[in-house]
Structure formats: C-alpha cells, structure tokens
Amino acid sequence: MLLDLHTPPDGYDQKDQWPSEKMVNRYINETQSMGYDLVNKPNDQDLTPRLMTWRDLAIAAVQRVRTIDSLHPIIVEASRGGGYNTLSYFQLLPYNNYIYSFHIYRPSEFTFQNIFNNVTFIYYPGSIIFDSYW
C-alpha cells in the first residue's frame, strides 16, 4: 500500500502536524505499507508571501516524518504538477531513502481514451498520434 496525499491542507503552509505525520502514525506498523507520498502533483505556483515553497515544505515534512519512521521510503514529486518536465528544476532533497516520482500523460490520446467523449480505442505500443509510434 502506498499512502498518497492529494491535497495539502491550507495550501502550502506548515501547521502543527502535517497530514503525512498522521498517515505515518496510523500505518507505520502495517506490513503492507510501502511508503508515503508527501503530496500528489504539488503546485506552489503563485504563492502568497507567507507560504513556504514546495521544496521547503517537503524538507520540513520529511524531517517530521523521519522522527517517526526512518524505514519506509518517502515519495516526492516536483512542483507544478509533478510532471516529468519539472524534475530538471527540482533540487534534490538532502536526505536518503526517497523515490522521486513524476506524472506523464503523453500521448494524451492514449492516456485519456474513453474520457471526455474520446471513445476511440488505442493500442499501446502502436501508432497513436499522426501515425507516430509510441
């Protein structure tokens, strides 16, 4: 089981207890726990001055989680949605036992088939966009 937080509370603001700490306390002894994803597809674009950047908040969250559980890996994604093209801008965190994750939805004709009235069934691997082979 991978525990994944989709929405950070109160934006990207550090509170008394980050939800990851609650997840860790709840699932630390579960034998099926694989690790903790701090935030799924984080986005700290257009922050107000009082809020922490995603990287700073991730560092603070990791420090708190590691006081509880140093065994399970922590999954971290880069800001602006965790896309594959954001990793080159993300400074690595100063810790070990991480999994850096990203999301890729290309080609969208494949990943979003049968969604938004796109009813064409597409095989992968195969020709998807303008006869390009994926």
Per DSSP, the three-state class of 60 is helix
| Interval 15-51: pLDDT, tens | 545 556 777 888 788 878 788 888 877 777 766 667 7
The confidence score (pLDDT) of residue 20 equals: 66
Per DSSP, the three-state class of 25 is helix
The four Cα atoms 20, 23, 27, 33 give a dihedral, to 10 degrees, of -60
| Interval 63-85: pLDDT, tens | 888 888 888 888 888 887 777 77
Please tell me the distance from the alpha carbon of residue 33 to that of residue 27, in angstroms, as a whole number.
7
Please tell me the distance from the alpha carbon of residue 66 to that of residue 13, in angstroms, as a whole number.
19
The confidence score (pLDDT) of residue 70 equals: 87
Of 84, 16, 77, residue with least CA distance to 44? 77
Two tokens, residue 54? 């995603």
Angstrom CA distances, 21 to 5, 7, 116, stand at 11, 15, 37
Ordered by start, the domain boundaries in the chain are: 2-103, 105-134
Predicted model pTM:
0.70
Residue appearing with tokens 């994944």: 4
